[in-house]
Every structure is written in C-alpha cells, then in structure tokens.
Amino acid sequence: MGPATQAAAFFDLDRTLVAGSSGIYWARAAVDAGIVSRRQMARLVGANLKFRLRGSTDESTDAIRERLSELVAGRDAMELRRMMPEVLAGVLPRLYPQMLQIAYDHQDAGRKVYIATASSQIVAEMLSDVLGFDGGIGAVPQIVDGKMTGRDSDVFPYRDGKAQRIIELAEREQIDLASSYGYSDSESDLPMLRLVGHAVAVNPDSELEAIAAEAGWEVLRFDQLGRKLLALGVLAVMGLAGTAGRTVVVRRGSVPPARVRLRKLWRSK
C-alpha cells in the first residue's frame, strides 16, 4: 500500500451533526415495532434531555449500550433494518444545516467525509448514503443465523475504539490523518480529535470546552436548548420575585412587575 495521499473529515453524529441523540428516534421506531415499551421510551426521552444539556458520560453510554443489547438479543436482524426509514425520518430534520454545509465544503475541497458514531453501523451507512457522504463508522451488531446476539462483531466505536476504527479506515483508504479534520461535542471523543491534525469542538460539553480552549481548537455552537432552559429558569425566578414584590410595585404605579418587563423583552426577541 502506498503513502496516504488525501485528507478526510470525520463527524460525530449526536449533538454534532444532529441536535440531541439519534437514539431517541430508534426508540420511537422500536416502540412501533413492539421492541420497546412506552415506559422504556419515557426513560429514553429523559436520558435524551440530559444528553442535550450535559453530553454523554462513560457511565450513561455503558448503561444505554447494556439496555439496548438486552432489547435486541434474539431479535431478527431484518427487524432492525426495517426500522431504519422511520429512524432516518426523525434524524434528518434535526440535522444542523451549518454542519452539513461544512461537510460539503470539505468534499468540495477534495476531502472525503465520514460519520463516526457509537450508534448503529446501519444508521451511519444509511445516513451517509442519504447525505452524499463517503461512508460511516458505527457499532456493528453480531448476527448469528439471522438473529442479533446483543454483542458487537467489531470494535465498539467509543473513545479509543472509535479512534481505532478510524485508523483502520485511514489505512484502507490511504487517508493522511495529520491533514484531516475531526468534529465532536464530547470529551469521550478526545482520542479521535487528537488523532487528526485539525480538531473542532461542536456544542462541546464542559470538559471538551476547557480542553479546546487550552489547545486552541475551533469551537462551534448551534444547540440552543441549554440556553433556552437557562433563560426560562431566570424568568421563573424573576417571576417569583416579581410576585413577592407585586404589592409594593403596583401601589407605586410607576414600574410594571419584573416578570411583565421580562415577558415583553422575551417576546420582542
């Protein structure tokens, strides 16, 4: 095999290419397929909200991975594949258009573009096909006699595992990683980000934000959910304060309650 001759760009999926977790749409499809109960779905929705606000952790990733393994073990592999159109129908509207444009700019500059995610390989490949990317790296389920075992048949693409899968792909495709780009929201993707020559933090969690600032990496922000919830929290607190002092304010008749002022300001934006 000759020397690496081209660069590439590797994009994490959740909170990087798409808002929130793609897993929530898998869960919805699984409910419709009778694989997941509505109670389990409710827990996954709560986990998705936490993920939107704080990002992933090793503990939460391991817990979700174990739960999904139990759910799919013994299921027909075709069930998973038939769920994918519904999953994609949920994921596609959640794509950040700015990130999609960045990916296409890389392709226009002659770089290959890949999705690198801990989500299913089927999701990575299908989404890559739909978006016109060059490929995808994801979790590969082990299938025996057409049934999923709940285990992986390849290295799980999380932390060092994701970096290992990227190295293997780079060797096959003759990609120069020193000239390549990596995009992620999570500290867990540091092995990938340190593998490439150009690392970019997208909607970073607090740990990655601190590391990016120290390393001088570019930081991009598109996810507004955390800021909106913070603003709503401020409004609620100020509303209570306005209610507590309402008697004094109304008697003076010169200044409207704080919550009214804030509501007008909020609506004007």
First and final CA of the chain: distance in angstroms? 57
Catalytic residue among 14, 185, 189, 205: 14
SS3 labels along 249-266: HHHHCCCCCHHHHHHHHH
To which residue do tokens 């749409």 refer? 25
Looking at the DSSP bridge assignments, the partners of residue 143 are: 148
To which residue do tokens 């939460």 refer? 60
- Cβ-Cβ contacts under 8 Å for 188 (sequence gap 6 or more): 56, 57, 58, 61, 158, 159
Phi, psi of 4 (to 5 degrees): -65, 135
The reply to whether 223 belongs to the active site is no
Catalytic residue among 12, 185, 205, 223: 12
The reply to whether 205 belongs to the active site is no
| Residues known to be catalytic | 12, 14
